[in-house]
Amino acid sequence: MYRQTARTRANAVQRKEGLEQAARQVVARGGFTAASISAVSAAAGCSAGLVYSYFDGRDELLAAVFARASARELAIVESAAQEAPTLAELADAVVSVFVERAVAGRTLAYALLFEPVPESVQRERIRARAAYAAAIAEGFRRVGAEVSGTDSADAGGADTGRLGICPEIAARGLMGAVLENLFILLSGDGPAPSPDQVQRLISEISTYSRRALGAA
């Protein structure tokens, strides 16, 4: 009876990760629509049969690619939400992270956020958005924003403004403001926005978000 050794298991993990990386590169160039098994196997320099030996099919592979990519983005959003010292700066940081990274990788960002995808990938997308909202809501709590609407300074916060609503609802509202504007930015076929246009968009979304949150 064949038994895997530690080395063969490590090699298998490495090959599977290589296939996921190749699929991510294909998605980054042309979206999930472009990520056929043949395209992924060509990018990985292997046969289509090897892909099927590690994944049950295209949907499972794309779900794995989405989960890995979204986990990387979530870690960056979590870091931004954890480091901001005030409610206003937290809103600014979240807006900046989403917009700047989306502009830097427009095709991948559109694929992760908006492209029609198989059901298995959509489930990962729903989980990812819930995780983003949870990270931002935790940031609101950390800076002292109050659910009840009591001045946050009373809870030990400083310059945090008045949230006055459930942090989760506020977090989803902030995400909605960002995503709706990103959809307009990413779904067009025109040239990439200039750095000045990007900074102006960030400033305008941040101003709206701070006012909506009651932050100075």
Tens digits of per-residue pLDDT, 131-163?
A: 999 999 999 998 874 433 444 444 444 334 456
Q: What is the mean pLDDT of the chain?
A: 88
**Spatial separation of the C-alpha atoms in residues 55 and 57, rounded to whole Å:** 5
Tell which residue, 172, 168, 178, has the closest CA to residue 207.
Answer: 178
Structure tokens at 187: 């779904």
Tens digits of per-residue pLDDT, 163-209?
A: 677 899 999 999 999 999 999 999 877 788 899 999 999 999 999 99
Q: Residue 92 has what pLDDT?
A: 96
The amino acid sitting at 121 is V
**Spatial separation of the C-alpha atoms in residues 215 and 159, rounded to whole Å:** 8
* C-alpha angle 97-103-108 in degrees, rounded to nearest 5: 100
- Taking residue 58's Cβ as centre, other Cβ atoms within 10 Å add up to 18
The amino acid sitting at 131 is A
Structure tokens at 208: 């709206």
Structure tokens at 15: 């090959």
Tell which residue, 55, 65, 194, 53, has the closest CA to residue 117.
Answer: 65
Residues with Cβ within 8 Å of 108's Cβ and at least 6 positions away in sequence, in order, are 24, 27, 28, 69
Q: How much is the pTM? A: 0.84
Is residue 1 pLDDT above 90, yes or no? no
| Topology at the third CATH level for domain 6-213 | Tetracycline Repressor; domain 2 (1.10.357)
Name the pLDDT band for 2 (thresholds 50, 70, 90): low
Is residue 35 pLDDT above 90, yes or no? yes
**Spatial separation of the C-alpha atoms in residues 182 and 127, rounded to whole Å:** 19
CA-based radius of gyration for the chain = 20
Q: What are phi and psi of 158, to 5 degrees?
A: -140, 125
3-class secondary-structure state, position 85: coil
Tens digits of per-residue pLDDT, 36-83?
A: 999 999 999 999 999 999 999 999 999 999 999 999 999 999 999 999
Cα-Cα end-to-end distance for the chain? 69
Domain ranges of the chain: 6-213
**Spatial separation of the C-alpha atoms in residues 78 and 134, rounded to whole Å:** 9
